[in-house]
Structure 1
């Protein structure tokens, strides 16, 4: 090491760089990535947390979003969607691809996709669109809009057919949306892509549904008898996201 370098400071900066790259890591994962002992990593994380450079949620450490804003991540209405921690915890825990979509004008826009190994956003998928009437993300938000806003969107929406399972009849879609609102979640069971299933719940801000979080996988991965269990975990993540969003907007 260069005689002018400060070893402890350098190690602390390496931790910050690692968290910027990997997004959220446990103490053990940081130890393994940097080949450092537990005591040193713990003391540096403790110091960084006390100085508010790093925050901890459950067992995961991540950069404080108020201080570190990744210029490569898209900000929308002051929310850095790909920086929210709860979806990464959820995706890693369940080992299932996780989507975040928000309502922009009359479209559902994807703001984050977390695929295996569940550490970084799939940047190429951010800002893509998903159908309002067939995707779980779109349907669950559409179902939770006010009646007037929902009707206005339906009046201006073409019900394109993507598979044989797609709802293309307004007479069938409207009662389907009523069921979704009552149960609190939506399922896209091969309505957008054959062989694929998606489960989504709303994300709320100021008690208004502004988007949705969803699990996406094959019909073999997401079994019908596991849907309610997945919904419970998605709801918990959605609630955590609301807390994070409110913190970011303070």
Structure 2
């Protein structure tokens, strides 16, 4: 690496950001870029939108939104379907997202553990972390069965209606848990969804006691999920590993038996990343 020197002859210290890096005021914000990212993020959450829909729902002018979309299209981040006249997230977005996943060894270390879990249970294995109050699915090993759960990498899901989400909530300290729950709405997705903080906390207490969580048709009717925590070197739950499948195979009377390989997978991945097994 070539080193640069200042006028005094001493090496110039490399900087990744200016001294006032923590200044988030308007002078350090590129408004047009910020607006473009709003459109990009909105489209990623609501796939398949026409220009009219995007501009109406985001309350932005069609001309502004169109310029943003065309610019993002040039980078492969979005793409346009000329037949349906709708916009989608483009393949380049997946490439960039995959680079984020490679920042940590968690995903790489998880693959053989998840593959073994899928083979042991016959159900789809999933890996997820907490991201801004939601579960972010990082990886999946699908079952060979025709009916199966599908959570592609990058999918976000509410924590209170997710096996991985609830197992992560169960191992949060009380203050952090209360802050997070105060900022989210416990939405009802099915008749089995947990919609009050009191009921959720009772469920979290049970999860801590038995070592695994259950999404019992709380997000999608006809689907169950069993999840266990993955701990880091400090003993904090940094991820969750799970199996999910239809209720016809993941029966209530088989949950206890199915939970054993899930817990073992959580422990195996904890050890693989140098964590502390609880």
TM-score category by the smaller chain? 0.5 to 0.7
Residues 151-193 of structure 1, C-alpha deviations (whole Å, 9 max, x = no match): 1111111111101111112222221211211221111111100
1: distance between equivalents of 2:154 and 2:207? Answer: 25
The answer as to 2:107 corresponding to 1:81 is yes
Supply the distance in 1 between the matched residues of 2:150 and 2:226 (Cα, whole angstroms).
Answer: 22
Q: 2: distance between equivalents of 1:79 and 1:174?
A: 32
Question: Residue 73 of structure 1 contacts residue 80 of structure 1 at CA under 8 Å; is this kept in 2?
Answer: no
**Residues 220, 74 of structure 1: alpha-carbon distance in 2 compared, 3 angstrom cutoff:** farther
Classify the secondary structure of the residue corresponding to 2:249: coil
- State how many pairs are aligned: 174
SS state at 1:109 partner: strand
Q: Name which structure has the greater RCO, CA cutoff 8 Å, separation 6+.
A: 1
Identify the match of residue 176 of structure 1 among 203, 210, 223: 203
Structure 2 residue aligned with 1:234: 262
Confirm or deny: 8 A CA contact 2:101 2:138 kept in the other structure. Answer: no
Change (3 A) 1:200 1:124: closer
* Residue 52 (structure 1) aligns with: none
One of 108, 118, 123 as aligned partner of 1:96: 123
Residue 163 of structure 1 contacts residue 194 of structure 1 at CA under 8 Å; is this kept in 2?
Answer: yes
Q: TM-score, normalised on structure 1?
A: 0.64
- Name the one with the larger strand percent: 1
Once the two structures are overlaid, the 10-residue window that deviates more, 152-161 or 166-175, is: 166-175
Question: Of 111, 136, 142, which residue of structure 1 is paired with 2:138?
Answer: 111
Which secondary structure does the structure 2 equivalent of 1:125 belong to? coil
Aligned equivalent of 2:231: 204
Q: CA deviation at 1:116?
A: 2.9
CA shift for structure 1 position 217: 0.5
Consecutive unaligned residues in structure 1, runs of 5 or more = 1-70
Extract unaligned runs of 5+ from structure 2.
1-96
Considering only CA atoms, is the larger Rg found in Structure 1 or Structure 2?
2
Determine which of 169, 187, 190 is the counterpart of 2:214.
187
Q: CA deviation at 1:243?
A: 2.1
CA RMSD of aligned residues (A): 2.4
Q: TM-score, normalised by structure 2?
A: 0.58
Among 169, 187, 198, the alignment partner of 1:142 is: 169
Following the alignment from structure 1 to structure 2, what is the Cα–Cα distance between the partners of residues 219 and 82? 30
Residue 203 of structure 1: CA displacement?
Answer: 0.9
